[in-house]
Amino acid sequence: MGTMTERKSLVVGAGALVAVQVAHAAVPGPSEVSGSVLGPVVGLGLLIASVAALVAAAQGREWARSVLRATGATVAVGFLLYHAIPVKTPLNYPYWGRATASVWQWAPVLAAIAVGAWCTRVASSRLAVVGAEA
C-alpha cells in the first residue's frame, strides 16, 4: 500500500472524514424548513463508505486509497450542493434564506467540504508521484 507515512495519511484522512460526518449528523439543521430524505439516506451511505476506507487503510488494503478518494470527493461536492448553494430544490436543504443556519450548524458543513477535498488530495497524491516517475 506504500510507505507507513502514506498509510497514516490515509487513516488520518478517513478518520477525519468519519468525524465530520458524525459531527454534522449530531447537530440538527435549521428547523424552519424540512430537508429532503435524500440527505440522510446518501449521508448514511457515505458514512459507511468512510468507515470502510478507514478500516481498509488501517489494515493496509490497497483499495482504501480509491475508496477514500471517491468518498472524499463525493462528500465535498455533496455537502456543497446539498447545504451551501442558496437555491432550494426538492433534493437539497440549503442553509440560506428561510432556513438560515447558525455558526454551529455551518461549522460541520464547511468542515465536511474541506476535509472531503483534503481526503481526495491525500488519496490522489501517490498516483501523481507514480505518474511522474513513469
C-alpha–C-alpha distance, residues 82 and 41, integer Å: 13
C-alpha–C-alpha distance, residues 96 and 88, integer Å: 9
Per-residue pLDDT, 29? 80
Per-residue pLDDT, 15? 97
Q: For a pLDDT cut of 90, what percent of the chain falls above it?
A: 59
- Coil, strand or helix: which one is 36? coil
C-alpha–C-alpha distance, residues 53 and 69, integer Å: 9
Cell of 59: 489494515
Query: For 21-41, what is the mean pLDDT?
Result: 80
Tens-digit pLDDT profile for residues 42-76: 999 999 999 999 999 999 999 999 999 999 999 99
Q: CA gyration radius for the chain? A: 16
CB of 35 closer than 8 Å to CB of 29: yes
More confident residue, 30 or 59: 59
C-alpha–C-alpha distance, residues 113 and 21, integer Å: 10
Quick check: pTM over 0.75? yes
Per-residue pLDDT, 2? 62
Sign of CA dihedral 68, 70, 74, 77: positive
Is the pLDDT at 117 greater than 90? The verdict is yes
Query: For 81-87, what is the mean pLDDT?
Result: 89
